[in-house]
Amino acid sequence: MAKRTPISGPPFSEVLEDFNRRVFDEGEKVFCPCCGYPGVVYTITFDCAKGRSLYKLDWLGGYVGNWVRISALSDGEKQKLNSWNYAKMRFWKVIEKPPGWRKKDGNVWRVTDKGRAFLRGGLLLWRHVYVYHNELHSVSRERTSIQLAMGTEFDEYRLKYGYPEKF
């Protein structure tokens, strides 16, 4: 059996403290000394594209929070959706997956009550969320409404009275 040589260097607690300081406080992209995973905090903004995606999901769910299975939609409807936005919007808790969801169940979402309140202008959301290792790390103090997020594409008539057959 080969003799192990002790690892030289600072204690792990110091390495971890330095890593966290550089990633979270200074916003540096640092690679983990143990596993090599890039340590970076991503800033995700609730913007017009996410607002549009939330509108479309609410429309497809019948405005009452029905589950929408993305894979069951027609090709034309799928083209109008941006699945990356759904994965990101979960950090604001405006959409959700079914309880007990497993990866094999497919891409299934619904708009939450919070999401519908936001769409109708009755709720403000954080403008930015900060994500580390696919987990919510922190949120910004700045808030946004659906009107600010949608900008020039905001249509109050559509917000109050529904959507045309095709968008």
Q: Which of 108, 88, 89, 87 is nearest to 97 (CA)?
A: 108
Q: What is the mean pLDDT of the chain?
A: 79
Q: What is the pLDDT of residues 100-132, one digit of tens each?
A: 888 777 788 899 999 999 998 899 999 999 888
| pLDDT at res. 72 | 80
What is the value of pTM for the model shown? 0.74
Phi, psi of 84 (to 5 degrees): -60, -35
β-partners of residue 144 are 125
Q: What is the pLDDT of residues 10-30, one digit of tens each?
A: 666 777 788 778 877 777 777
How far is Cα 120 from Cα 54, in angstroms, rounded to an integer? 12
Q: Average pLDDT of 55-83?
A: 79
Buried/exposed code over 52-86 (b: 16+ C-beta within 10 A; e: otherwise): bbbbbbbbbbeeebeebebeeeeeeeeeebeeebb
Residue-range domain boundaries for the chain: 13-41, 46-161
- Identity of the amino acid at 51: G
